[in-house]
Structure 1
Amino acid sequence: MRDVSIELAVVLEKQKTSQRKEGLPSVEIRADRLSRAIDVLLNNKTQLQDALIADFGHRSRGLTDFADVASSIKGLRHSRKHMKSWMRPSRRHLEFPLGLFGASGKVQYQPKDVVGIMSPWNFPITLTFAPLAGVLAAGNRAMIKPSEFTPATSDLMAKLIAQAFDEDELYVITGEADVAAAFASLPFDHLIFTGSTGVGKLVMRAASKNLVPVTLELGGKSPVIVGESADVIKAATGIMHGKTFNAGQICICPDYVLLNEKQKGGFVEAAQAAVGKMFPSGLKDNDDYTSILGQRHFDRMRNHVEDARSKGADIVELNPQNEDFSQQPHHKLPPTLIMGVSDDMTVMQEEIFGPLLPVRYTSNTEEAVEYVNAHPRPLALYFFGNSAKEEAFVMDNTISGGVTVNDTIMHIAQENLPFGGVGPSGMGHYHGKDGFLEFSHQKAIYRQTSLDLLKFLRPPYAGMFRKYVNFNLKN
């Protein structure tokens, strides 16, 4: 019988031993590892598409190319291009007059050594390789546990990475929840988990036993505030792009909309038009529209709709060709507006992770902000509006992991912007330099001057010592 805990412990020790033996990895070593990761993706694009289609029932090839393969390569290349400058020690100013007499201070960036990566099922490739860009650029090695809910993709990644990397550089283990639990309990030097808030709590609890620092990329209900100054057509277009992206199965998906009721008619019309324009031939057999992952999630979506309908919401199915989804080989579900929701509806009580879009009516932007602030801090927030004053009010009075203004989801695609959550939606950041810093140890180094300038700080505590302390005690 396979003893996963022993297997994982052996690999972890092998990686830590190799890291110590190698010492500080050179720019060339880091660049080589990043290049090999890029080649894994470039040389196996079709295989990765096929694996995701097998896991989802149907997964858009174009979506996989863009959101999983190309976005991962972009992040890996960005890190490879810039890491040499990121690695340079950072000089820091010292307290007067130490710097004038030859003392110096700097921060050196060192690898943490071995980083554990636990990636989810919705974007299993990019949510493995995007953090890996920062991990490898910082000079670390990594162990990866991909999701058990996308077994074909996870098995393929394990195979491809094993072909391109030695086990003591990069290692992938697959398996069910018991493997994930054993993985989270390892004494890594850092652990990053992407997934639900509930599982994130379990991962953090497991990591705490070894005092492993964690980066948690969680989710929650990311709101959209449609301001009083908004172009409703533009707002509906941007929102429906975000909601239909991977059929809404994305952690920063616009989860619900806060809308003035007088904008209702224009919003519904614009949303219908936007879906019709993106999917003119319909949805059911359209290669660009992705399935819900599995029967359980599909049933959960339908239960949300029926619960909202029974409690008085208006259900507007955005189905350009009026297709019958009751008979289909996959779990496709048309984007659906749930108008006039209330908090007692199940669709407003958990992250949706699907193509349903609840719309709650508010009387003004201030009320919308109050509603957002009465709920857990989200991973993303979206604002549509053309008033600088209104935008500033929303930005200054809400807290979220990230924001896109007058569109949705695009902030995650920027390598020079940190990506991460806050509070219940996560902790820590990655992408670009922020990922390099997240997975580096920032070591402070102070070099003393050859002059014995600080002898007055030693006992006996009198004279210059008292003057120095009294100076620093001043208001």
Structure 2
Amino acid sequence: MTLQATLLAQRAAFHTELPVTLEVRKDRLKRAAAMIADNADAFCDALSEDFGHRSREQSMLTDIASSIAPIKHALRALDGWTKRDKRAVQFPLGLLGARAWVEYQPKGVVGVIAPWNFPVNLVMGPIAGIFAAGNRAMVKTSEFTPRTAALFETVCVKYFAAEELAFFSGGPDVGKAFSELPFDHLIFTGATGIGRHILHAAADNLTPVTLELGGKSPVIIGKDADIARATERVAIGKMLNAGQICLAPDYMLVPQAQEQAVVDGLKAAVSAMYPTLLANPDYTAIINDRHHQRLADWVADARAKGATVEVVNPGGEDFAGSNARKMPLHIVRDATDDMIVMQEEIFGPILPVRSYVGDVDSAIDAVNRRDRPLGLYYFGPDETERRRVLDRTISGGVTIDDVVFHVSMEDLPFGGVGPSGMGSYHGFDGFKTFSHAKAVFKQAKLDVAKLAGLKPPYGKATMASVRRQMK
């Protein structure tokens, strides 16, 4: 079916089905989990083909298990999420028998525009909330992961009717047409620049939008941080998926006296995890030649503008002579604001390390001069310093004494702020995002309008009601 025909079919089926029972929602969630679990090996193979090489174990962690976990979480919590939310009624209506509550209703058909970096997880994570809320879904997959996209289209029909869940692939023309459909909600995960186009397209239909974007997520190393522990955890987060993560540490701010120790710690941690890279099955390749060239150009730009670039290549391998698109970690020291690596989200194994002088306020000021990031990471035992970072910076989310992990907590909302995103999902927050919170008021049997002076002829009761509301 065409995009338009699928939307019409899903919407018609949705209205016919109302109300969407808990049993139906749970059944769809279970089928979604089964679709991924039953085809886990095929998805891992497709992901590795799309990337040129992608660690199988990493794919199992970041795209298979992490897709099933939010679905299982929704199944366990759904009974509580869907309960009527009782609200207070103003005096004296509550005493007279009036009641108020909120009911969470499904919105209808939700569009999902997924990115290439985690092309299974960033489809199925939203699907968990979409199905839990009682909706149907249409998904536009990334043209940069065509094998994974094709696999979704093949396996989906074995588990879902097209009126429940449907996948569409293609290039920018398909993406444009998809974003212009009058969905009941649209969620996009990807680059900030494309997010602006998505928002413009959705505005014509007044479609509510959730944007999960990116930005330059900073790491702040506090004055008394354990450098060895901090640098190992930063290295794990930065090297996962070869840095192709919207939440990857994008630059580090470290006390001036600790800069060399931080650089040494990063090198030691990366070398221990990846003693070689080219033939290492644990290390993922850069997604395509264009992206690889972009990263190389940015490193060259930094060097040309005076940066010192330290390449972490413990095996002394010849990356220039390889066509594997694997790229070692490049630590960029003396990075300045005129360098592209300090202006754009990196999305690869390049890590600027900058020092600050004085207390943590210098690092806070450096963060606040930039757009608000999707994630922020602080390392340090000083509670006062930590509190100051939390209070004086604004970001989508924060992980303390580690990186990235807040995205894995299903009971926390996940989303950005400003240029790093709009709205949030995951867990109950995702259920609410994809639901309409419908206010319901049930009036008392008594003639409240007369008692409150709300109907003519107005008189003493009217003014008493006015004075009561103004107290």
In the TM superposition, what whole-angstrom CA distance separates every residue of 1:288-328 from its partner, at most 9, and x where no partner exists? 11011111111111111111112221111111212111122
TM superposition shift of 1:24:
1.3
Match of 1:342 in 2: 336
TM superposition shift of 1:461:
4.1
* Residues 1:402 and 2:397 are matched in the alignment: yes
For 1:173 and 1:308, the matched residues in 2 are separated by 39
For 2:374 and 2:212, the matched residues in 1 are separated by 8
For 1:469 and 1:274, the matched residues in 2 are separated by 69
Letter in 1 for 2:264: E
SS of 1:180 mapped into structure 2: helix
Which of 441, 454, 459 is the matching residue for 2:456?
459
TM superposition shift of 1:245:
0.8
Match of 1:254 in 2: 249
Letter in 1 for 2:280: N
Match of 1:470 in 2: 467
SS of 1:457 mapped into structure 2: coil
Which of 256, 260, 277 is the matching residue for 1:283?
277
SS of 1:316 mapped into structure 2: strand
Match of 1:315 in 2: 309
For 1:59 and 1:151, the matched residues in 2 are separated by 15
Match of 1:427 in 2: 422
Match of 2:196 in 1: 201
Match of 2:411 in 1: 416
Letter in 2 for 1:333: M
For 2:97 and 2:90, the matched residues in 1 are separated by 12
For 1:167 and 1:74, the matched residues in 2 are separated by 24
For 2:84 and 2:11, the matched residues in 1 are separated by 24
* Residues 1:64 and 2:48 are matched in the alignment: no
Instruction: Identify if the C-alpha distance between structure 1 residues 326 and 20 changes in structure 2 by more than 3 Å, giving closer, same or farther.
Output: same
* Residues 1:368 and 2:363 are matched in the alignment: yes
For 1:340 and 1:99, the matched residues in 2 are separated by 65
For 2:224 and 2:167, the matched residues in 1 are separated by 49
SS of 1:254 mapped into structure 2: coil
TM superposition shift of 1:469:
2.2
TM superposition shift of 1:330:
1.4
Match of 1:99 in 2: 94
Which of 87, 99, 107 is the matching residue for 2:82?
87
Match of 2:387 in 1: 392
Match of 1:444 in 2: 439
SS of 2:354 mapped into structure 1: strand
Match of 1:39 in 2: 34
For 1:128 and 1:238, the matched residues in 2 are separated by 27
SS of 2:250 mapped into structure 1: strand
SS of 1:454 mapped into structure 2: helix
Indicate the RMSD between aligned Cα atoms, in angstroms: 1.1
Which of 70, 75, 97 is the matching residue for 1:75?
70
TM superposition shift of 1:226:
0.8
In the TM superposition, what whole-angstrom CA distance separates every residue of 1:428-475 from its partner, at most 9, and x where no partner exists? 11111111111000000000001123321223444232233234335x
Match of 1:272 in 2: 267
Matches for 1:108-119 after TM superposition, within 5 Å? 108-119=103-114
Letter in 2 for 1:30: R
TM superposition shift of 1:135:
0.1
SS of 2:166 mapped into structure 1: strand
Match of 1:305 in 2: 299
Match of 2:131 in 1: 136
Which of 19, 37, 44 is the matching residue for 2:14?
19
Using the size of structure 2 for normalisation, the TM-score is: 0.98
For 2:364 and 2:19, the matched residues in 1 are separated by 48
* Stretch deviating more after TM superposition (210-219 or 319-328): 319-328
Match of 1:359 in 2: 353
Letter in 1 for 2:308: D
Which of 278, 281, 290 is the matching residue for 1:296?
290
Matches for 1:163-174 after TM superposition, within 5 Å? 163-174=158-169
SS of 1:101 mapped into structure 2: coil
Matches for 1:170-189 after TM superposition, within 5 Å? 170-189=165-184
For 1:146 and 1:415, the matched residues in 2 are separated by 23
Match of 1:3 in 2: none
Which of 116, 124, 128 is the matching residue for 1:121?
116
Question: Any unmatched runs of 5+ in structure 1?
Answer: 1-5
For 1:370 and 1:93, the matched residues in 2 are separated by 43
* Residue identity (%): 48
Which of 214, 223, 232 is the matching residue for 2:218?
223
TM superposition shift of 1:234:
1.5
Letter in 2 for 1:15: Q
For 1:358 and 1:334, the matched residues in 2 are separated by 14
Using the size of structure 1 for normalisation, the TM-score is: 0.97
Letter in 2 for 1:289: Y
In the TM superposition, what whole-angstrom CA distance separates every residue of 1:9-45 from its partner, at most 9, and x where no partner exists? 1110100110111111111111111111111111111
In the TM superposition, what whole-angstrom CA distance separates every residue of 1:323-382 from its partner, at most 9, and x where no partner exists? 111122310000111012110001111100001001122113101101111111111000
Q: Which runs of 4+ in 1 moved over 4 A?
A: none
Matches for 1:315-334 after TM superposition, within 5 Å? 315-334=309-328
Match of 1:10 in 2: 5
For 2:89 and 2:174, the matched residues in 1 are separated by 48
SS of 1:12 mapped into structure 2: helix
